[in-house]
Structure 1
Amino acid sequence: MPRHSPSSIANEFLKRRGSSEYPSQMYIQKLVAIANGWNLAINGEPLVNAAPQAWKNGPVFRQIWDFIKEGGHKGPSCEIADPVTGQIAIAHISGSEQDIIDHVWKKYRNYTPQQLSNLTHQANSPWAYAYFEKGRNAEIDTERTRQYYIKLALAGRSNLAEEQSLSAAGRINAA
């Protein structure tokens, strides 16, 4: 069962970012959505305790939106704090969750907010189903998200195997 608030996972990325400049809300929202998707596919459960909503520019976690809107960022890494208590949201993540967050950060940290948005709301994505079938701001289905990221993982493995095979064939032909 996921134990983490969306804001606490957002803060994991903000700490890694290590900047005192306020990040784009879109950037943080999409990193959390992507990490949640990969955790569903790899660890079999959501990373966060709330489902994202299908907003115009992709998945959005309402808690992150509200906390930033109402309370903003705090601390040297611009972490997200609860606007009522002022407490910075903290996640106590497991090793496998840490691996997911590290992977997402390593792979996507240099993407622009718009590039991340484009990734998360492509045709046939969980966002597209929720947005076009259920309506704007509808909750994005967890099982659809899990299946979508499993397909991405399998496609990635297939592409990697193909690249390794071609690389090996190139070495053999060159010899």
Structure 2
Amino acid sequence: MQSFNFNAEDIAEYFLAQPTSRKSEEITPLKLQKLLYYAQGFTLAILGKSLFTDRIEAWRHGPVCRNVYEKYKKYSYHPLPKFKDMDKLNKIKSSQNVSAILDAVWIYFKDYSGVQLEEMTHQEKPWQDAVTNGLNTEMPPYDLLKYFKGFVKK
């Protein structure tokens, strides 16, 4: 499957650069993982390409990109620091279709907590299907594409 030239860390940093005005908008490592999952799913459904090539795995607490987890796990359940590398952010913003999807994901999910998002993902077919093969199993992009296509009207 074709992919944009981003990795999951790039997309994580895009979310971490979003302005927040309420405590509910703060991003914890758990919330960040779910934002990555939704961003990947909707990008696949709308643009027909993977947002990033990193695997998303079905962990006990929902979808996870392992490398992003490793980078931010020291924060536990605490809010993550803001990201401010404008060169990196401009790379994503230069792809208007991608940044529009990421902005929409942020607007829709920003007030949900990581726990609420975890509960949502546990009700969704891609995570449920993957965990039937065992925890930490990959959630293949094709499964995300099929699932999220159901939410996207052309």
Q: Same fold (TM over 0.5)?
A: yes
For the pair shown, the structure with the greater C-alpha radius of gyration is 1
Counterpart for residue 66 of structure 1: 70
Deviation at 1:117, TM superposition (A): 1.0
The answer (yes or no) to whether the contact 1:8–1:89 under 8 Å persists in 2 is no
Counterpart for residue 129 of structure 2: 129
Distance 1:37 1:64 in 2: 17
Match of 1:47, SS state, is strand
Q: How does 1:17-36 map to 2 (within 5 A)?
A: 17-18=19-20, 23-36=27-40
Q: Which runs of 5+ in 1 are unaligned?
A: 81-86, 158-175
CA RMSD of aligned residues (A): 2.8
Percent of residue pairs bearing the same amino acid type: 29
Match of 2:137, SS state, is coil
Match of 1:153, SS state, is coil
**Higher RCO, 1 vs 2 (CA within 8 Å, ≥6 residues apart):** 2
Distance 1:78 1:113 in 2: 17
State the TM-score, normalizing by the size of structure 2: 0.81
- Deviation >4 Å, runs of 4+: none
Counterpart for residue 90 of structure 1: 88
Q: In structure 2, do the counterparts of structure 1 residues 113 and 89 end up closer, same or farther at CA, with 3 Å as the change threshold?
A: farther
Q: Which has the higher strand share?
A: 2
Distance 1:89 1:126 in 2: 33
Counterpart for residue 171 of structure 1: none
How many residue pairs match? The answer is 143
